[in-house]
Homo-oligomer: A and B are copies of this chain.
Amino acid sequence: MAAIDQRTEELTQALRTAGVRITRQRKALLEVVAGAEDHPDAVELHRRAVEKMPGISLSTVYRTLTELEAQGVIQRLQFEGEAARFEHTETDHHDHMIDVETGEVVEFRSERIEALQAEIAAAMGYEIVRHRLELYVRRKPSGG
């Protein structure tokens, strides 16, 4: 978990530099976010944050998530009919595949799709600001 601590420290410094005050609550949430390998929603993040900083409120979690999103530390995901989920900003952009049976979320990236999207937008006189691609999938029978 040393890697997470280091990542948290880096984020802390970067945020402080950006003029964001690092409170115990924010520290706790940063640790949770840096350590999350899944795609938790606000309530789940709050649940985890409470373990590190008892008493932290859900409002503070929401407020901090908004701030972290603005600072580019995390990204907000909005899947069909679900509460918003969050993920830390990776080095690379990626899209999501959601297993409709299990709810499992798999990340993927396709340069070809990215390129095609830009091409399509350009052909219609637009440039892409951001995009959202979600594949709702089911595990293949795969012969047995």
Interface of A toward B, CB cutoff 8 Å: 78, 80-81, 97, 99-100, 106, 108, 110, 112-113, 116-117, 120-122, 124-140, 142
Contact = CB atoms under 8 A, between A and B. Distances in A.
Contacts of A97: 120-121, 124, 126
Given A113-B117, A132-B132, A126 B108 contact: no
A128 B140 CA distance: 9
A131 B136 contact: yes
A80 B138 contact: no
Contacts of A142: 125
- The CB with the most chain B CB atoms within 10 A, among A113, A124, A137, A140, is that of A137
Given A97-B120, A125-B142, 6 more contacts: A78-B80, A78-B81, A97-B121, A110-B120, A125-B139, A127-B138
- The CB with the most chain B CB atoms within 10 A, among A116, A125, A126, A136, is that of A126
Nearest to A122: B140
A119 B12 CA distance: 40
28 contacts: A78-B78, A78-B80, A97-B120, A97-B121, A99-B126, A106-B124, A108-B124, A110-B116, A110-B120, A113-B117, A113-B120, A116-B116, A121-B137, A122-B140, A125-B140, A126-B135, A126-B137, A127-B138, A127-B140, A128-B136, A129-B136, A129-B137, A129-B138, A131-B133, A131-B135, A132-B133, A132-B134, A133-B134
